[in-house]
Amino acid sequence: MEISAKYNPSDIENKWYQHWLNQKYFRSVPDERPAYTIVIPPPNVTGVLHMGHMLNNTIQDVLIRRARKQGFNACWVPGTDHASIATEAKVVKLLAEQGIPKSSLTREEFLKHAFEWKEKYGGIILQQLQKLGASCDWDRTRFTMEPSLYEAVVDVFVDLYKKGLIYRGTKMVNWDPAGQTTLSDEEVIFKETPDQLYYVIYKGVDFDGELMVATARPETIAGDVAVCVNPNDERYQGLIGKKVMVPLINREVAIIADEYIDIEFGTGVLKVTPAHDINDYNIGLKYNLPVIDTLNADGSISEAGQLFVGQDRFIARKQWVKALKEAELLSKQENYVHNVGYSERTDAVVEPRISTQWFMNMQDFMKKNPEVLSSVMNDEINFYPSKLKNTYRHWMENVKDWNISRQLWWGHRIPAWYSTTGEWVVAKTADEAVIEFAKQGIVVAATDLTQDPDVLDTWFSSWLWPISVFDGIGEHADKTELNYYYPTNDLVTGPDILFFWVARMIMAGYEFEGKMPFKNVYFTGLIRDKQRRKMSKSLGNSPDALELIEKFGADSVRMGLLLCSPAGNDILFDETQIEQGRNFCNKIWNAFRLIQGWETKEGNPTKAADQAKTVMVSRLNNTLKEIEQLFKEFRLSDALMAIYKLIWDDFCAVYLEVIKPPYGEAISSITRKEAQDILQELMSLLHPYMPFISEEIVHLLTDGKSETLVLSAYPVKKTDSAEQSSTEALQLVTEIRNTRNTRGLSPKEVLNIWVPNAAKSILGLLDFVEKLANVRIHPDTDTKPLNGMPVIVGTHEIWVELHVEIDVAKEREELEKEKVYYDGFIASVRKKLENERFVQNAKPEVVDVERKKLSDATDKLLIIGKRLSQLQ
C-alpha cells in the first residue's frame, strides 16, 4: 500500500470523524461500568467557534477520550444555551433589517421568529466543534429551552418560591437601556472611564449665598430632591435645614446632613437623586424623600426630566452643560476618571433604576446550604488552580440577593399569575393558579388571569445544567440516568463565569440533589495575543478558529493550544505554536513512513536493537508514570509535553536511530514488528490529544485489523527493572555528545571510552551506547588514558579518550564551578531535610526524592574532588 509522502489532515480528519459518528463510538448509556461524565459549558446559540471555545473543548475532549480508553463509561453531554439578552438582540436586529419592529409583533409572533432563527443558526457552533474532533454524545444534545428543560426551570422557580427563597420586591436594580432589561450584579462590568466633573451652583433660597455641587451627571439634576452635607463639616453646619434652588428647574429642596458624605470629595456637597444612584436611593429611604425618575427605559429623558425630554441621556448631558453655562450656574469642570458599570452583554452604560422585580434570597439559601461554601474550601470540590478558592469564598461570604427577572420575551417565562384586580400567585399553570387563588379566598377563572410578562435570567436555567440534562428535576422525574451519571466528574470552564455559573451550579447541586455537581473544576486561562491584549474582533487579533483548522489541521491546533495552557494562567497565543503542532504531525508521519519503508529479512534483532527496545520500553513506562501524576494534578499541558518528548526524542531521535539498518540493507522482521508495536502504543497514548493522526497511523500499521483507538485500552505502566540503566545510558550519550561539542570533535569520529566494571547498568546496554554515541566501550576500572577526561554519570567516573591536548587550567576552572554548584545544592537540600515540618507534612515519596538528591549530589561532589586532586 502506497503511503502519502505528506500528511494531509483535512482528508484524514473528515474521514475518521464521520466513521466515529457512524459507529456510535461516543454514545453512552448506563451499564455496569463506572461512569465518567462531563457536561459541556453550553455555548450561546448565537455563538460561533472562537479560540476560547477551542481551548476549553479540546481540554474536555482530552479528559473524556482518556477516560473512555481507561474503561469508564464516558459521557460528554453537549448542548446550547438560549442566551436571553444576546439572542433577543440578534432577532430584533434581524427583524428590523426586514422592516419589522418588535413593537409591531405579539409575544407569540416574536417567539416564532426567534425559534426559526434558532433552528437555522443555533446549532452552528456544535457543528464546528465536530471539526475540532469533540467526542460528545451528540444523541444527547440539549437546549436550555427545549420542553423538558423549560419545564424543569418552571418547577424549580415554583419550588423555591414555596420554600420562601424567591420573592417579588421593589428595589434599585441594574438597568441595561440598550437591552431594556435588568441585570444581576455579576452581569455589570466596571471599567475605569474618563469623564468630566461639573461644579454646579445651587443658589440659596432662605439664605444669602450658594452651594457648589460636584457631579458627573448633570442630566439627572431634574431628579434632585435634596442636597446633603456631612454634619461634621464646619463649612456647612450653619446651613443644615435651609433650602436651595435646583438649577434650571427652580424647585426648592432642603439641605440635609448625613455622615455618609465624604468631606474630601468635590465640594463636600452631594445632590440627592434617589432614582439614579444607589447611595442616593438609600439616603432617600432614610430621610423619606420623594423619587423623581428622569429617565425612560431606553435611557432617554422622561417627562419628569422637564428639560430636553426625549433626548438620549448623553446628548442631554451636553445640553444641560450648555444651559448651565448660559445661566452662569456652572462654576467649572475638570477631568475625572471613575469606575462606570457597563452591561456585560450590550456594553451599554448601566443605569441604577427603581423597579419591581423577582429576587432570590441568597443569604437564606446559603444558611440552608452551608456545603456550597465548605465543599470548595475543604477540597471536596477541587479547583484548579486552587488560588480561585479565595475568590469564591469572598463572593459567597458577601453574596447579595439575585435579581432573576428580565424584561424580555425570549426565555423561561416567570410562572406568576395576576388577576384583573392586581392580586397574584405563583403556580406552574393557569389552572394551578386558580387553585392557589382559591386558597386565598379569591375566585377567578383561568381565562381571566395574565401571566407575568418577564422571563428568568439565563443563568437561572444554566445553574441546573448538570441535573437537567439527565432529566432529573421534577416531582415525577425518572432519575435513573441522573443516579448513574451524577455527580459529574470534571468541569472545564473560564474563571470569568465562576460566579455566574460555577457557584450557582454548586448551589443547585446541594439544594436539589444534596450533593456536589462535579468533583473537579479546571479553569482555563484567557487567551491573549503576543502583546498580552485580550483577543477581540475590534482589535483584529483574534484568528478565525475554523481557518486555523483548515490551514493546519485539528490535531495541530489542539496541540498548539494545549502546549501553552497551564490551568488558570493567561495564554499568549502565537500562530507559531500551531506550526509546532503541524511539525509534530509531520515528524510522526515521517517516522511511520520510515518504519513502513524498511525492507525486512529473517533473523534475530541485533544486540543494539534489543537494547534499544529495552531503553524505549523503560522510557515509555517512566513517561506513563509521570503522566498519571500530571493528570491527577490537571497539568494537561505538561502531560502533553512529556508525550511530545517521548515521541520526538526517545522514539525518533534515539530508538529509530539505533535500530535503523545501514543504507541499502534490510532490517530484522522482528525488529520492525517491535518498532510498529511501540509506535502503536505511542499513538494510543497520544490519541486523547491528537485523535486523528493517531487513528490513521494505527489503522495503516495494522491494515485496519486493530480496534479503534477511541475504545482500545489506554497504555498502563508495567514493572520496569531497566529504569536506572536506561537513564544512565542516555545520560552517558548526552555527556559524550557535550564533550564532542565543547572539544570541537566530529560526531563521525569514533571515541574510546573506559567504563568501570561497577557501572553494570551501562555495560548491560553497551551496544546501544556504542551505536548511538559512536564510541567503542572498554569495560575497565583503572585505565585512565593520556589526554583523557572523565565524565560523571550517576556516581560513575567514565573516561573518554581525546585526541586533543587538555587545557588543565580551564578544566580546573570548570570543575571548581561544578563544585560551587554542588556545595550550594547540597546545603539547600540538607536545609529542607532538617526542617521537621517538611519531613512530617510532605508525602513520603517526596521526602525520599530529596534524600536521593542529597545522596547523588554527595557522590558527585566526591568525584569532582577526586578529579581536582588528579589535576594538581
Residue 181 predicted with pLDDT over 70: yes
Give residue 787's pLDDT: 73
- The whole-angstrom separation of Cα 679 and Cα 800 is 34
Q: What separation in angstroms does the CA of 21 have from each of 135, 577, 675, 700?
A: 9, 29, 31, 20
Residue 567 predicted with pLDDT over 70: no
Give residue 51's pLDDT: 86
Q: Tell me the whole-structure pTM to 2 decimals.
A: 0.86
- The whole-angstrom separation of Cα 779 and Cα 564 is 45
Give residue 668's pLDDT: 95
Instruction: Please give the grid coordinates belonging to residue 514.
Output: 444534596
Give residue 804's pLDDT: 63
Angle at CA of residue 321, ends 202 and 265, nearest 5°: 55
Give residue 807's pLDDT: 72
- The whole-angstrom separation of Cα 778 and Cα 608 is 16
DSSP lists the bridge partners of residue 252 as 245
Q: Are 125 and 63 in contact (CB under 8 A)?
A: no
Interval 436-465: pLDDT, tens: 999 999 999 999 999 999 999 999 999 999
Rounded mean pLDDT, 627-643: 94
Instruction: Please give the grid coordinates belonging to residue 563.
Output: 502546549
Give residue 1's pLDDT: 61
Where does the pLDDT of residue 536 fall: very low under 50, low under 70, confident under 90, or very high at 90 and above? low
Give residue 331's pLDDT: 94
Least confident of 373-377, 631-635, 724-728: 724-728
Residue 41 predicted with pLDDT over 70: yes
What percent of the chain lies above the pLDDT cut of 70? 98
Rounded mean pLDDT, 62-75: 98
Rounded mean pLDDT, 398-418: 95
Instruction: Please give the grid coordinates belonging to residue 584.
Output: 509534530
Residue 538 predicted with pLDDT over 70: no
Interval 49-65: pLDDT, tens: 888 889 999 999 999 99
Where does the pLDDT of residue 720 fall: very low under 50, low under 70, confident under 90, or very high at 90 and above? confident
859 alpha-carbon distance from chain centroid: 45
Q: In what order do the strands lie in the sheet with 181-183?
A: 181-183, 166-176, 351-360, 402-403
- The whole-angstrom separation of Cα 584 and Cα 182 is 50
- The whole-angstrom separation of Cα 694 and Cα 133 is 12
Residue 745 predicted with pLDDT over 90: no
Interval 88-117: pLDDT, tens: 988 998 999 999 999 899 999 999 999 999
Least confident of 130-134, 522-526, 769-773, 861-865: 861-865
Interval 653-703: pLDDT, tens: 999 999 999 988 999 999 999 999 999 999 999 999 999 999 999 999 999
Where does the pLDDT of residue 539 fall: very low under 50, low under 70, confident under 90, or very high at 90 and above? low
Interval 7-26: pLDDT, tens: 999 889 999 999 999 999 99
Where does the pLDDT of residue 762 fall: very low under 50, low under 70, confident under 90, or very high at 90 and above? confident
Which residues fall within 8 angstroms of residue 767, CB to CB, at 6 or more apart?
Answer: 606, 607, 608, 611
Between residues 39 and 764, which one has the greater pLDDT? Answer: 39
Between residues 536 and 382, which one has the greater pLDDT? Answer: 382
Give residue 742's pLDDT: 79
Give residue 184's pLDDT: 85
Task: Count Cβ atoms within 10 A of the Cβ of residue 337 and give its class: 0-12 exposed, 13-18 middle, 19 or more buried.
Answer: exposed
Conformation bin of residue 553: beta by default, left when phi > 0, alpha when psi is -120 to 50: left
Where does the pLDDT of residue 781 fall: very low under 50, low under 70, confident under 90, or very high at 90 and above? low
Residue 121 predicted with pLDDT over 90: no
Give residue 542's pLDDT: 74
DSSP lists the bridge partners of residue 243 as 254
- The whole-angstrom separation of Cα 619 and Cα 84 is 53
Give residue 588's pLDDT: 97
Tell me the residue ranges of DSSP E strands in 21-132: 35-39, 73-77, 79-80
Instruction: Please give the grid coordinates belonging to residue 251.
Output: 424647585
Q: Are 255 and 240 in contact (CB under 8 A)?
A: yes
Q: What separation in angstroms does the CA of 240 have from each of 232, 247, 250, 280, 576?
A: 11, 19, 20, 18, 68
Supply the mean pLDDT for the chain: 92
Least confident of 38-42, 243-247, 719-723: 719-723
- The whole-angstrom separation of Cα 727 and Cα 23 is 43
Rounded mean pLDDT, 839-868: 81
